[in-house]
Amino acid sequence: MTLKEKIANGKFVVCGELGPPQSSNGGLIRKKVEYFRGLADGVNITDNQTAIVRMSSIAAAKIILDEGLEPIIQVTCRDRNRLAIQGDLLGAAALGIENVLCLTGDHQRFGDQPEAKGVFDLDSVQLIATARVMTEGYLLSGHKMKESPRFFIGGAANPFAEPFDMRILRLAKKIAAGAQFIQTQPVFDLEIFHRWMEAIRVQGLHERVAIIAGIMPVKSVKALLHMQAEVPGVRIDRQYIDRLQTAPDPQEEGIKIAVEIIKELKTITGLKGVHLMPVMWESIFPRIVEEAGLASQGPKETSS
């Protein structure tokens, strides 16, 4: 079954994330694939993450597809105008890639070539709408295609940014534009995430889109403090900082925290899965999936 079909059938899905190399070495992609094989329902391929040049997400996704796994390409608005974006989406569809995560993209000032010109011809909501229009058989020009792609369209959400009510409104906009699944920023504050999911249930949004919670295992307190200081909208419960600061083995503690958060998230009504983002640490994916009890998980009901 595809990722879309698994969600429709009630499976609590597990997605991973793979960062392409800063080279043309496709063998590195094939090596990383083995960490996800038999465990991941979908594998995200980042698109020049943090505004640093890496192998094309579409090319990397094709390698993953050929290896028998299901890719989710990330497409950002930073680097391409609407012509190039539509062309890339058609190319991805022709290669058999159907899962598309639509993002604005990290600003180029955060990367190693800050002098690069940002495009931002579309924003993430408009990009979602573009992918939807294309699945309906049209380009943005109004041209009707002879054969249209069959995208499973995703977007991102940050439950932790302020103002809180605006986060719900922006999610609703993405759903109205055509988002079928949503992957969230990493969860490090369960109280706020519970409140966000409750607000989603009150409005019935969880019945219109599949919410997949982000999980980011970290190796050190330095990584958490960097996120807290540099990434807008990140909220980190102080207990996790304290635990990593005092742990005899911070890396092991980081794994333990990720597993604990997943186990809590699995109890939340309306949540359809988790998305592990082990940045440049893909090798930890199998261990976290196993320890969190996510391996070979079938359909089930959850409660809040």
Confidence (pTM): 0.94
Instruction: Report the pLDDT value the prediction gives residue 279, as an integer from 0 to 100.
Output: 82
How do residues 135-170 score in pLDDT, each as one tens digit?
999 999 999 999 999 999 999 999 999 999 999 999
How do residues 21-76 score in pLDDT, each as one tens digit?
999 999 999 999 999 999 999 999 999 988 999 999 999 999 999 999 999 999 99
Give mean pLDDT, residues 201-209.
96
**Top CATH class, 3-218+252-291:** alpha beta
Give mean pLDDT, residues 285-289.
97
Give mean pLDDT, residues 178-185.
97
Instruction: Report the pLDDT value the prediction gives residue 299, as an integer from 0 to 100.
Output: 41
Q: Which residues pair with 215 in a beta bridge?
A: 276
15 by Cβ neighbours in 10 Å (0-12 / 13-18 / 19+) ranks as buried
Please state, as a whole number, how many other Cβ atoms lie within 10 Å of the Cβ of residue 114: 10
